[in-house]
Amino acid sequence: MSVPSKGYSKLCGRQLVQVVGKDATKFLNGLITSKILDPRIESSNPYDCLMNDNSFYTTKLNYLDNSMHSGYKKLGQYTLFLNATGRLFTDAWIYPFQLFNKPIESLPFLPKKDPNHSNYLIEVSDTISNQFKMFLKMHKLTSDIKLKFFDEKQFNSWYMYNDEDPRVMGQIWDFKQNWLKNNKLLNEPSIANAKFLDFVSSKQLFKHDDIEYLTNNLYGFAFDERSPRLGMKLLTSTEIGTPLTLVDKNKLVPNGTEFEEIPSAVMDGRRILGNIPEIGDLEPNKYLPLELNYNLMGTVNDGYDEAYDDYLLRKEEAVEATEKKDESEVDEVLYSIDNTPVISFNKGCYIGQELTHRTFFRGVVRKRMLPIRLTFSDTLEISDLDSVIPALKFEDKHIYFEETNDQLESPYEESVQNNPFANNTDNPFGSKVSRPRRKAHVGKISAIYEGCGVGIINIPEFTKPNRKFYVKVKLTDENRKEFKETCNFELEEEEMKVYVEGFVPEWFPDGWNEEE
């Protein structure tokens, strides 16, 4: 699979929503799975830092909780919006706005009528944008907020990464620990604000220390922590034709090699290969967030499994405390297990929370999203697999299985055939009972990029021995013609099998399936 080891990309198919107003933080906290905290809210909880700096009210920071301590950040964060049944409606990036406490001149953003009002930008896929607008308006009710929507012609969303040089990962770790994400250090809003400005002025990452220039062109900044070594995100004005206008290339490419722009589709392929789903790959309102591994994302940041070991231990303690009905102990444990930046298990109510928490603490997650590799049978001699796959039309993306020892493909079908009462018993009206046979499948492919993809897999079924898994491809005349032109190979079959091999992502922690 051809994905460059480093580069930057302008992400296509994005839309932006501004949420501003007195109730903006409260409104969003009732919808998203992660946590943001309004600086006007004070809490006596020892796990929260009190927000008492009036001069900081003009900037609302993202608030994340983890197993050590709380802190304030000016970075964007990845989050989820669920429906009432706990299924994923859409994923999104939320950025605190504005970064530099100065008015924006380049885009027609909504102004804040009061300096104490909260202000956020939400970045979503345009595949869900119309439904997302209705979703926000439906839940607005009497909330004191205003919404404004922007299409991708009014902003640029950039993604940058370097998998080639390990020194870059060390620099990013330094940025987070010393400037931007150290919870222990950033224990007051004013400190977090000053640290962010110092970070910009020090030119550790950005070329410019001109706050006015950055204010008008840099709207949001985030580290993508869904898995190690994913990269960084920038939200900029359309005046920025390349992120290298703002970011110092030498910080991302210390060895001085080329750092070129790559297509957005290739960036999607890199994400798919890393088993990171987005709503454009999925059917909305169908999957639980735990089935998409969102409880695993961020638990092994920077490649360490110790965080996930602690996560499992604290989860077990929370279950035991729940059985004892010791509410104080449950609260303490919940505040210590929130290692993931995507789902917070210690925040207040939000849409879909009940099923998410019940599944996390009590349920069994039988399905998981896993990366897959597509192959052909040994008798079909095709060398360039990556050029073949795009020519195929996967109308039925269900993954079926066949037994390698010539048994029936489905245990269900075998039980029907061996049951003398299944299809041969006359009913009182003299006609036979006809029971349609169910074709068993163990999952479904969600997205394909060249010869790889991701799929929602039934783990117990997929791990059974003596099975080969495949998807069925029906070949039409148009399909055959396209296949022949692309691959210079002629197919005569009406239907062919493309075999599926699954594997575990490198960022999955050890024992990821033991909790099931």
CATH number for the domain spanning 68: value is 3.30.70.1400
Cα separation, 447 vs 443, whole angstroms: 13
Residue 509 located in a structural domain: no
Say yes or no: 32 and 173 in one domain. yes
Mean of pLDDT values over 49-66: 38
Cα–Cα–Cα angle for 55, 223, 295, nearest 5°? 105
Q: Is residue 385 part of a domain?
A: yes
Put residue 511 in one of left, alpha, beta given phi > 0 → left and psi -120 to 50 → alpha: left
Q: Are residues 271 and 135 both part of a single domain? A: yes
- Same domain, yes or no: 275 and 378: no
Which whole-number Å values give the CA distances from 289 to 262, 365, 470, in the listed order?
Answer: 30, 10, 25
Total count of domains within the chain? 2
Contact 369, 277 (CB under 8 A): yes
Among residues 250, 265, 281, the one where a domain terminates is 281
- Terminal Cα-to-Cα distance of the chain (whole angstroms): 32
**Half-sphere exposure of residue 497: CA atoms within 13 angstroms, side-chain side:** 13
Residues 271 and 381 in one domain: no
Residues 155 and 48 in one domain: yes
User: For the segment 395-407, what is each residue's pLDDT rounded down to a tens digit?
Assistant: 788 898 887 764 4
Same domain? 381 vs 493: yes
Residue 126 lies in a domain: yes
Confidence of residue 414 (pLDDT cuts 50, 70, 90): very low
pLDDT value at residue 386: 57
| pLDDT surpassing 70 at residue 331 | no
pTM of the shown model: 0.80
pLDDT of residue 338: 40
Q: Which residues pair with 449 in a beta bridge?
A: 452
CA count, 13 A, side-chain hemisphere, 27:
25
Domain that holds residue 28: 6-281
Q: Is the domain of 109 the same as that of 257?
A: yes
- Summarize the chain as % helix, strand, coil (round to 5): 30, 25, 45
Q: Is the same domain home to 42 and 141?
A: yes
Residue 233's pLDDT band (cuts 50, 70, 90): very high
Last residue of a domain, one of 281, 300, 315: 281
Judged by DSSP in three states, 160 sits in strand
Model confidence at 408, pLDDT cuts 50, 70, 90, reads very low
Q: Is residue 429 part of a domain?
A: no
Nearest Cα neighbor of 149 from 12, 10, 19, 280 is: 19
Dump pLDDT digits (tens) for 140-184. Answer: 999 999 999 999 899 999 999 988 877 777 777 778 777 887 766
The edge-to-edge listing of strands for the beta sheet with 146-150 is 77-82, 88-96, 118-125, 14-21, 146-150
Characterise 60 by phi-psi region: left (phi > 0), alpha (psi -120 to 50), beta (else): beta
Helix (H, G, I), strand (E, B) or coil at 193: helix
Q: Show the CA angle centred on residue 420, arms to residues 419 and 423, nearest 5°.
A: 90
Domain assignment of residue 208, yes or no = yes
CB neighbourhood size of 207 (10 A): 16
- The answer to whether 94 and 122 are in contact (CB under 8 A) is yes
268 and 379 both lie in a single domain: no
> Is position 361 within any domain?
no
Is residue 201 a part of any domain in this protein? Answer: yes
Integer Cα distance of 336 and 350 in angstroms: 20
Contacts (Cβ under 8 Å, ≥6 apart) of 115: 57, 58
Express each pLDDT in 89-135 by its tens digit: 999 999 988 787 677 766 678 876 677 788 899 999 999 999 999 99
Predicted confidence (pLDDT) at residue 227 exceeds the cutoff of 60: yes
CA distance 455 to 283: 12
Q: Which of 226, 261, 281 is the last residue of a domain?
A: 281
Q: Which residue has the higher pLDDT, 397 or 316?
A: 397
pLDDT over 70 (residue 214):
yes
Residues 263 and 373 in one domain: no
Is residue 237 domain-shared with residue 381, that is, in the same domain?
no
Cβ atoms of residues 336 and 348 within 8 Å: no
DSSP line for 235-254:
EE-TT-SSGGGTB-HHHH-T
What average pLDDT does this structure show over 472-496?
A: 73
Q: Give the residue with greater pLDDT, 320 vs 54.
A: 320
Q: Is residue 409 part of a domain?
A: yes
Least Cα distance to 271 among 1, 62, 28, 33 occurs for 1
Task: Count CB neighbours of 142 within 10 A.
Answer: 6
Q: By mean pLDDT, which of 116-130, 200-214, 301-315, 316-330 is the weakest?
A: 301-315
Q: Do residues 46 and 187 both lie within one domain?
A: yes
| Residue 13, Ramachandran bin (φ over 0: left; ψ between -120 and 50: alpha; else beta) | left
